[in-house]
């Protein structure tokens, strides 16, 4: 409890101000992602509120922000459109059936994520290689940048067209003013978030100067929405009555649920890892899995679109001084207050100000050092870094990270497979000794087998693992097969310096191995210390 109170806030002023800043940045993001998924803006805003408040209170990373995200919106859009089509085709047409399917899907997503936390799968994020992390950061920065470019479009005669003329110049000028304030203000003072000041100043300039620009309100209306104003989220008690409409579509629902759960957890855990590095602290991946699952379940029950951790908003929060849970709580509650009471005011905020904030996030997120180190790191690592960046932009985050981890694992396996060596010498009694060096595992089995010349070896052979370790079942089988070849040829075989675990596995599968494994061997690496201890006694 004491630790939780410390995590709640150590700097209330910074947490509150950064929370207000994040709330402003959450509005257009939640609205935009709702449009991507084919949902009403309020569904995105409610999803951002529930994900934000639950993960802020119970999550594994104080200061990290969760909400409706583009990565999950892209996954759910196909199921929503399919559900709407099914609803329209029924004898008694059901409007927004796709949304009802989504809410049921979120319950399954939450259960999967909670089980992931209970099974402690969150710790596997620590196994993600650094090149994959850098590629993820770079790719996500590019995705955020490209998403902002869509805001340089305006609706003319019902179609989206790129801004031109004075509209474009005004937009660029306001974006530049926002970025300039965010760059200069921290040099003068860090007591107030530069992003919040920039948004307020740019909004004041446009309102007082009566400048006609795209605002949050016009953005929503152009997308087909009616505005931000709404009531409190309502419990969707009729959810389970919709289950019969899923008949024949469970495969689509379950596949979407597993994809959403995977994408949500990967993005959340990667963001957690990144915030850990920025703050030089360490969060709990398993606890974050539980909180993300609970957030999606509650969001589904109350009509939100669910979501996961948001890297852009998390970085805004951290850079604005928000390090405690209070910052996420303030951001979520403020977002709900915008919907309930402040919609008219928030709708006047220029989109240009929010674009400028996100451009600064892109600059701060992108690992510029990757350009400098590309020719200094191993070529396979450079290839992984670039590949993850490209795949993140081309496909999505989950595919990019999984591909990057697989590529890194294959490179690691290949390198270790070629490392295994066998030093050979003969003892005075004629015993030929194979001193194995390097790991024996599935990748090095073939090279290991090639080191032995069974037909040409003497009557007594010893395989010494003092500089090696049998790492997996393939290695154990390879060792057993080699030993059996010597035994079948009538030769005597002895295996020394095996690890305790390997001994137990070998003897369990073949009890006769008790006669071939040397148990009480003085390890030459430690005999000097043994002598010293003996002398002291």
**Statement to judge: residues 356 and 435 lie in one domain:** no
Looking at 346, 371, 392, the residue that finishes a domain is 392
Distance of alpha carbon 432 from alpha carbon 530, whole angstroms = 27
Distance of alpha carbon 507 from alpha carbon 517, whole angstroms = 9
Using the predicted structure, report yes or no on whether residue 526 has a pLDDT greater than 50. Answer: no
Greater pLDDT, 519 or 159? 159
**Statement to judge: residues 494 and 347 lie in one domain:** no
Using the predicted structure, report yes or no on whether residue 476 has a pLDDT greater than 80. Answer: yes
- Which residues, 6 or more positions from 456, have their beta carbon under 8 angstroms from its beta carbon? none
Burial, 77: exposed, middle or buried (Cβ in 10 Å; 0-12, 13-18, 19+)?
middle
The rounded Cα 500 to chain-centroid distance in angstroms is: 37
Percent residues over pLDDT 70 in the chain: 93
**Statement to judge: residues 435 and 378 lie in one domain:** no
Greater pLDDT, 399 or 2? 399
Residue 412 in domain? no
What pLDDT was estimated at residue 521?
A: 45
Q: How many CB atoms lie within 10 A of CB 504?
A: 11
Looking at 392, 409, 441, the residue that finishes a domain is 392
Residue 399 in domain? no
**Statement to judge: residues 445 and 369 lie in one domain:** no
Tokens read off for 438: 């390097």
What pLDDT was estimated at residue 266?
A: 87
**Which range among 179-183, 300-304, 499-503 shows the weakest confidence by mean pLDDT?**
499-503
Residue 405 in domain? no
**Statement to judge: residues 429 and 347 lie in one domain:** no
Distance of alpha carbon 131 from alpha carbon 140, whole angstroms = 14
State the average pLDDT over residues 511-524: 61
347 falls in which pLDDT band (50, 70, 90)?
confident
Beta bridge partners of 159: 156
Residue 148 and residue 359 in contact, taking contact as beta carbons nearer than 8 Å: yes
State the average pLDDT over residues 161-174: 91
Distance of alpha carbon 397 from alpha carbon 205, whole angstroms = 38
Strand blocks (E) in 44-135: 66-67
Residue 132 in domain? yes
Buried/exposed 177-194: b ≥16 CB within 10 Å, e otherwise: bbbebbeebeeeeeebbb
Question: In total, how many domains does the chain have?
Answer: 2
Residue 20 in domain? yes
Using the predicted structure, report yes or no on whether residue 406 has a pLDDT greater than 60. Answer: yes
State the average pLDDT over residues 80-86: 89
**Statement to judge: residues 377 and 484 lie in one domain:** no
Using the predicted structure, report yes or no on whether residue 474 has a pLDDT greater than 80. Answer: yes
3 falls in which pLDDT band (50, 70, 90)?
low
Residue 407 in domain? no
**Which CATH number does the domain housing residue 499 bear?**
3.30.750.24
**Statement to judge: residues 369 and 445 lie in one domain:** no
State the average pLDDT over residues 217-231: 76
Q: What are phi and psi of 368, to 5 degrees?
A: -65, -25
Chain segment 362-394, per-residue pLDDT in tens: 888 888 888 888 888 889 999 999 999 999 888
47 falls in which pLDDT band (50, 70, 90)?
very high
**Statement to judge: residues 470 and 375 lie in one domain:** no
Whole-Å CA distances, 440 to 422, 446, 489: 11, 10, 24
Q: What CA dihedral angle connects 112, 113, 118 and 119, to 10 degrees?
A: 70
What pLDDT was estimated at residue 146?
A: 85
What pLDDT was estimated at residue 528?
A: 40
State the average pLDDT over residues 76-103: 86
Greater pLDDT, 137 or 522? 137
Place of tokens 């402040």: 342
DSSP 470: B
How many CA atoms lie within 13 Å of 318's alpha carbon, on the beta-carbon side? 24
Tokens read off for 457: 């070896």
Using the predicted structure, report yes or no on whether residue 121 has a pLDDT greater than 60. Answer: yes
**Statement to judge: residues 369 and 432 lie in one domain:** no
User: Would the CA dihedral through 449, 452, 456, 460 be positive or negative?
Assistant: negative
* pTM score of the predicted model: 0.75
Burial, 45: exposed, middle or buried (Cβ in 10 Å; 0-12, 13-18, 19+)?
buried
Q: What are phi and psi of 432, to 5 degrees?
A: -90, 130
Chain segment 281-307, per-residue pLDDT in tens: 888 999 999 999 999 999 999 999 999
**Statement to judge: residues 33 and 171 lie in one domain:** yes
Distance of alpha carbon 342 from alpha carbon 425, whole angstroms = 83
Q: What angle do CA 407, 409, 413 make, to 5 degrees?
A: 120
**Statement to judge: residues 225 and 77 lie in one domain:** yes
Arithmetic mean of pLDDT over the chain: 85
**Statement to judge: residues 139 and 257 lie in one domain:** yes
The residue segments making up the domain with residue 364 are 2-150+158-392
Residue 41 in domain? yes
Element (H, E) at 288: helix 285-301
**Cα–Cα nearest to 387, from 67, 239, 374:** 374
What pLDDT was estimated at residue 527?
A: 40
Tokens read off for 102: 């989504």
Strand blocks (E) in 421-459: 421-426, 432-437
Residue 490 in domain? yes
How many CA atoms lie within 13 Å of 85's alpha carbon, on the beta-carbon side? 7
Using the predicted structure, report yes or no on whether residue 5 has a pLDDT greater than 80. Answer: no
């Amino acid at each position: 409890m004491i630790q939780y109170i410390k995590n709640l806030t150590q700097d209330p002023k910074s947490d509150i101000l950064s929370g207000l800043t994040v709330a402003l940045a959450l509005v257009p993001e939640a609205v935009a992602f709702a449009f991507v998924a084919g949902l009403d803006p309020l569904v995105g805003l409610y999803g951002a509120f529930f994900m934000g408040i639950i993960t802020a209170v119970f999550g594994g990373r104080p200061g990290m922000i969760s909400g409706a995200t583009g990565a999950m919106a892209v996954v759910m859009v196909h199921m929503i459109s399919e559900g709407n089509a099914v609803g329209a085709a029924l004898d008694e047409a059901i409007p927004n059936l796709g949304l009802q399917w989504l809410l049921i899907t979120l319950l399954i997503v939450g259960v999967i994520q909670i089980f992931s936390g209970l099974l402690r799968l969150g710790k596997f994020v620590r196994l993600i290689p650094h090149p994959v992390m850098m590629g993820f950061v770079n790719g996500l920065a590019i995705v955020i940048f490209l998403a902002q470019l869509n805001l340089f479009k305006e609706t003319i005669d019902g179609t989206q067209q790129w801004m031109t003329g004075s509209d474009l110049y005004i937009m660029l000028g306001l974006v530049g003013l926002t970025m300039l304030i965010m760059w200069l203000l921290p040099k003068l003072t860090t007591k107030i978030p530069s992003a919040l000041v920039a948004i307020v100043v740019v909004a004041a300039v446009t309102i007082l100067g009566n400048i006609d620009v795209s605002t949050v309100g016009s953005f929503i209306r152009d997308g087909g929405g009616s505005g931000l104003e709404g009531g409190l989220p309502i419990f969707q008690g009729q959810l389970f009555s919709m289950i019969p409409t899923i008949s024949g579509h469970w495969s689509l629902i379950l596949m979407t649920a597993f994809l959403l759960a995977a994408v949500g957890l990967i993005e959340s855990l990667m963001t957690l890892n990144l915030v850990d590095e920025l703050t030089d602290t360490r969060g709990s991946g398993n606890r974050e899995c539980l909180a993300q699952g609970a957030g999606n379940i509650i969001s589904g029950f109350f009509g939100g679109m669910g979501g996961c951790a948001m890297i852009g908003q998390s970085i805004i929060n951290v850079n604005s001084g928000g390090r405690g849970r209070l910052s996420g709580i303030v951001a979520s509650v403020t977002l709900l207050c915008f919907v309930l009471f402040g919609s008219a005011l928030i709708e006047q905020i220029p989109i240009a100000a929010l674009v400028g904030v996100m451009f600064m996030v892109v600059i701060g997120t992108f690992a510029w050092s990757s350009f400098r180190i590309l020719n200094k790191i191993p070529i396979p690592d450079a290839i992984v870094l670039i590949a993850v960046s490209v795949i993140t932009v081309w496909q999505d985050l989950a595919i990019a990270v999984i591909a990057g981890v697989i590529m890194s694992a294959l490179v690691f396996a290949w390198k270790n497979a070629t490392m295994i060596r066998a030093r050979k010498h003969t003892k005075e009694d004629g015993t030929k000794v194979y001193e194995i060096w390097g790991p024996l595992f599935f990748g090095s089995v073939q090279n290991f087998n090639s080191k032995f010349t069974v037909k040409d070896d003497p009557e007594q052979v010893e395989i010494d693992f003092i500089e090696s370790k049998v790492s997996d079942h393939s290695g154990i089988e390879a060792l057993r097969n080699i030993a059996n070849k010597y035994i079948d040829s009538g030769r005597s075989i002895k295996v020394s310096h095996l690890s305790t675990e390997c001994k137990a596995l070998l003897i369990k599968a073949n009890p006769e191995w008790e006669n071939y494994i040397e148990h009480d061997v003085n390890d030459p690496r430690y005999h000097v210390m043994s002598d010293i201890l003996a002398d002291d006694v």
